[in-house]
Amino acid sequence: MAKLIQTIYYFLFRLAGFLPRKQKLVMFESFSGKQYSCNPRAIYEYMQKEEPEYELLWSVNPRHTALFEEHGVPYVTRFSVKWLFTMGRAKYWISNSRLPLELPKPAKTIYVQTWHGTPLKKLGVDIDEVHMPGQTTAQYKADFVREAGKWDYLISPNAYSSKIFRSAFGYKGPMIESGYPRNDLLFSPDKGQLIADIRQKLEIPDGKRVVLYAPTWRDNDFHKAGEYKFDLKFDVAEMKARFGDDVVLLVRMHYLVAEQFDFAQYGDFIRDASSYDDIRDLYLVSDMLITDYSSVFFDYANLDRPMIFFTYDLAEYRDTLRGFYFDFEKNAPGPLVETNAQLMEEIATTLKQPAKSNSQFFQQFCEWEDGHAAEKTVKIVFKK
């Protein structure tokens, strides 16, 4: 019965696609409607100020509507009847992740795919073997190419990514080489006030430094299809004992990780920021980043602050799960550590004397970032 209803729904969506376009209607979506964040948010906020003649709406997962109501952001509940006709007639779609494959794009709708990171680990067609539950390697790759065939524009953060996106997505359309709109905030002239406001929101005491831990997910570490898990591999109690007087730890899990962590036993030392609106705020407020293979470090590099890479499963991740596009061990903009003891020592060293900036890395991966990526994107897509 559910399959029949879904079939009828997508058929009606296809019919809605033949209706006249609402020329000024723009639909935004971030991470399957679960977040108000990333590149779509940055473009939305720019258009709110600079393009008031457009109607801007968000596509929102029904379990996450409270976030949008809190921000006063207009939305339509994903897969509702209203969403069918709103999404089906919108002139523009702006999303940072893949939309449902069964969703047909109307011929006269313009679909802007912003994506959500500079690739270190292999993507899409470039993955040698897929380890995700419920998908074969061949089907996974075919689905990626089919989805990319719907895109009218793809945003690229740097020249390195432009080349990879062509092969990884099988994408042949126009590329907007602007840098990532979500990073515009990192160049804000009001950065000092923004940091003060974010610290207050997160209840970070004056004088304490902030360490952000933001790891990626593992393709083969899951409960079931679509529901991934993650285990912390460092000793939080030891970290608190050594650095708790001077540091607050923010933990930001990848959006695909379903695990909920209970950090109550560590008191004010740790904050679970996984559900925080937008990671760009966490970048701003953090004095140091700890990550692994997550693309967050490419964005964080714009701030020229120290980074540590906790790569406890480097060999497996590099050689079995994904593979990398470049020599990560040689080119990472910070030290790689594999054990809890090494991580603690590196944190201590970095807190005493932050590492020097990596200008070569910045020039390769951040050269297009200048605080105007959203403006560049809007000028290309919404041509007068």
Q: What is the pLDDT of residues 194-238, one digit of tens each?
A: 999 999 999 999 999 999 999 986 654 544 445 444 568 889 999
Is pLDDT larger for residue 360 or for residue 259? 360
Burial class (CB within 10 angstroms; exposed 0-12, middle 13-18, buried 19+) of 162: middle
Query: Closest by alpha carbon to 30, among 60, 9, 1, 73?
Result: 60
Instruction: List pLDDT tens digits, range 308-331.
Output: 999 998 888 887 767 889 899 999
* Whether 363 and 275 share a structural domain: yes
Range from 35-39, 259-263, 278-282, 339-343 carrying the lowest mean pLDDT: 259-263
Residues 129 and 258 in one domain: no
Is residue 261 predicted with pLDDT exceeding 70?
no
pLDDT of residue 65: 97
- The whole-angstrom separation of Cα 374 and Cα 40 is 9
Task: Tell me the mean pLDDT in the region 364-368.
Answer: 95
Question: What is the domain range of residue 311?
Answer: 188-367
Give the pLDDT confidence of 72-128 residue by residue, as tens digits: 999 999 999 999 999 999 999 999 999 998 899 999 999 999 999 999 988 999 988
Question: Do residues 196 and 250 both lie within one domain?
Answer: yes
- Is residue 55 within 8 A of residue 25, CB to CB? The reply is yes
Whether residues 223 and 106 share a domain: the answer is no
Neighbours of 265 (CB within 10 A): 10
Return the bridge partners of 155, or none: 176
**Residue-level pLDDT at 228:** 45
Predicted confidence at residue 220, as pLDDT, reads 45
251 and 257 in contact (C-beta within 8 Å)?
no
Mean pLDDT of 153-168: 97
Same domain assignment for residues 268 and 306 = yes
Contact between 119 and 325 (Cβ < 8 Å): yes
The strand pairing partners of 189, in sequence order, are none
Q: Are residues 87 and 193 in the same domain?
A: no
Q: Domains in the chain: how many in total? A: 2
In sequence order, the 6+-apart residues with CB closer than 8 A to the CB of 108 are 21, 91
Among 65, 64, 131, 59, which residue's Cα sits nearest to residue 99? 59
Residues 239 and 171 in one domain: no
Same domain, 343 and 315: yes
Lowest mean pLDDT among 222-236, 291-305, 345-359: 222-236
Q: CATH code at 83? A: 3.40.50.11820
Same structural domain for residues 43 and 115? yes
pLDDT of residue 383: 83
pLDDT of residue 380: 97
Q: Domain with 320 in it: what CATH number?
A: 3.40.50.12580
Q: Is the pTM here over 0.75, yes or no?
A: yes
